[in-house]
Amino acid sequence: MDNITSVCPVCHQTISEKDYFCSNCGHNLKEKSVAISAVTQIGFYALAILLPPLGLWPGIKYAMKNNPYAKRVGIITIGLTLISSAVTIWATFALFDSYLNQLNGVLDML
């Protein structure tokens, strides 16, 4: 039998310490534990590196969790996203500059 240890802050119904939601009003009593597998982490990191802006969504989602492990995964994902975005922007400008230099060389020959 469950030990009744506290009261729901919304409806004041008695609740068990094992409950995630109040059985009376449905209020979220505690955050569900977050299990992040290695495959999920690799997916987040790959998303952050290969498609930089899209890595912000899972990064922010997990960085806001109370679980320290999930928070660390979120912060790493955000960091990789920012680094990858900076490299992508730098490479784009370098490629554009190279293209303009080649175009100027061709126009100078005319």
Radius of gyration of the chain (CA): 25
pTM of the model: 0.65
At 34-85, the pLDDT tens digits run: 678 899 999 999 999 999 899 999 999 999 988 889 999 999 999 999 999 9
* CA 29 to each of CA 17, 34, 39, 73, 87: distance values in angstroms, whole numbers, following the listed order: 9, 15, 29, 24, 42
